[in-house]
Structure 1
Amino acid sequence: MIEVIASGIGLGIVLSFLTGPAFFALLKTSIEKGFYGGVSFAFGVFTADVLYVALSLYGSSYIAQEREILFPLGIIGSLVLLGVGIHYIRKKVTIKRTKCLSKREHSGYFIKGFAMCIFNPTLLLYWISVTSGVVSISSNFDLKRIIPFFACVLLTQLGIDSLKAFYADKLSHKIEECTLNKINKFAGALIIVFALRLMYELVFTHTII
């Protein structure tokens, strides 16, 4: 079991260094709303990852047989991400040094993190590839080992995302509004490019990997 935990933590650290729209959104949220706002966002991402890992472990065979369900899901997800990206580009950011958030605001950032990931069908296929790869190269992995393994992976990612939020918050006082707006526009542009690429691949190549 110690080997399973160590392997899960190791893979979680590696996967935590992969960047994407959620990475920049996490940094932006932490800079704007502080550590707790960033952690709320990170918990939303974590919850989406948990659902997708569970789905990929228990339903990958069905998804492989019913791949046509991914096309409408991908189109909807692309449009949602496109809207998020446009919103980020158009939104003018003002830095507020008071970072005490209400329960409603915490819930809002949790939902933003969750929605950004749950409407991204490539994340589902990403976790399917990770889970199937781990299981295929580990013949002695049974359910009692797989669940602790991926629990360690996901919890490690959550911990590192929390560290990202912490340091982004600590450095936020050195960031001026113009710099934050540039970060906002860059994050929005990245999300738009990602959404358009996803839509292109769905329509013209009929795949999302």
Structure 2
Amino acid sequence: MLSYVFEGIRAGLLLSLIVGPLVVLLIQLSLRRGTLASFAAATGIWTSDLLYVAASHLGLEGLERILDHRHINEIFGTVGAVLLIGVGLAMWYRKPPSLKGKKMMPSRRGLLSAWGQGFLLNMLNPFTAFFWSTFVVTQVHNRELLSAEALAIYGGIVGTIMLVDSAKVLGARKLREFLKPATMLRVQRVGAVALGLFGLGLAVRVWF
């Protein structure tokens, strides 16, 4: 059983170490709105991953019909691209916060907003849907694994993602201690450009 856990850990490391818009989102939220907001976004990411696991494993036939829809990539890709570009534009024009002597305590509404950003960016990412559907078919269903073995793999993947994402959030928290206002503005705008480029790249992949 332990071998299946390690198998999940390897897949989780591959998935969580890929640099993408979710990494930028977690870092930017931690810098701007504090660690709690960034953890809220990470929780949204984990929630969408768990939903994909459940949909892929328990409702594979229905999920395959959805993913086989001729326009599903265009729909997911377009909505995801618009969301990424919109968040990037808002981040570019938003005034950076003053970090000196300020303890950030986001409101419940702010935490819910951060959770929603993480959830939607991951849920509408075609790569996430492709990864989970492909992994479940090839590594679980095709191998006819028992429920306990499948849960061991899923636990290894999701647990690894949670640990790595938490490390990203805490790392960004330490980074805040060394940032000056001018540097904060540059970091924020670099993140804004990165999200915009991810959005444009996503749009190009699904439409061209």
Counterpart of 1:139 (choices 135, 143, 153) is 143
SS in structure 1 at match of 2:34: helix
What is the letter of the counterpart of residue 200 of structure 2? L
The alignment status of 1:177 with 2:171, answered yes or no, reads no
Q: Does 1:197 align with 2:196?
A: no
**What is the percent sequence identity of the aligned residues?**
25
Query: 1:171 and 1:77 mapped to 2: Cα distance?
Result: 28
| Equivalent residues of 2:48, 2:122 under 8 A apart | yes
Q: How far off is 1:125 after superposition?
A: 1.6
Name 1:168's counterpart in structure 2: 172
- 1:74 paired to 2:74: no
Kept in 1, the 8 Å contact 2:5–2:156? The answer is: yes
> What is the SS of the residue equivalent to 1:67?
coil
Q: Which TM-score applies when normalising by structure 1?
A: 0.84
Structure-2 separation of matches of 1:37 and 1:190: 20
CA distance in 1, matches of 2:118, 2:46: 8
Residues 1:7 and 2:7 aligned together: yes
Count of residues paired in the alignment: 203
The residue that corresponds to 1:92 in the other structure is 95
Q: Distance in 2 between matches of 1:109 and 1:145?
A: 34
Which ranges in structure 1 are unaligned for 5 or more consecutive residues? Answer: 205-209
**Separation in 1, partners of 2:116, 2:67:** 28
Give the Cα separation in 1 of the matches to 2:174 and 2:156: 27
- Following TM superposition, by how much is the alpha carbon of 1:133 offset from its aligned partner in structure 2, in angstroms? 4.1
- The Cα shift of 1:60 comes to 4.5
Change (3 A) 1:15 1:202: closer
Structure 2 CA distance for aligned equivalents of residues 37 and 61 of structure 1? 34
Cα-Cα RMSD: 2.2
- CA shift at 1:63, angstroms? 3.5
**Alpha carbons 1:41, 1:109 under 8 Å: kept:** yes
**Residues 73 and 206 in structure 2, CA contact (< 8 A), matched pair in contact too:** no
Q: Deviation per CA, 1:129-151, whole angstroms, max 9, x where unpaired?
A: 33334337x72523332233112
Q: Which residue of 1 aligns with 2:26?
A: 26
Unaligned runs of at least 5 residues, structure 2: none
Match status 1:108 vs 2:119:
no
1:129 aligned onto 2:134: yes
TM-fit CA distance, 1:82 = 1.7
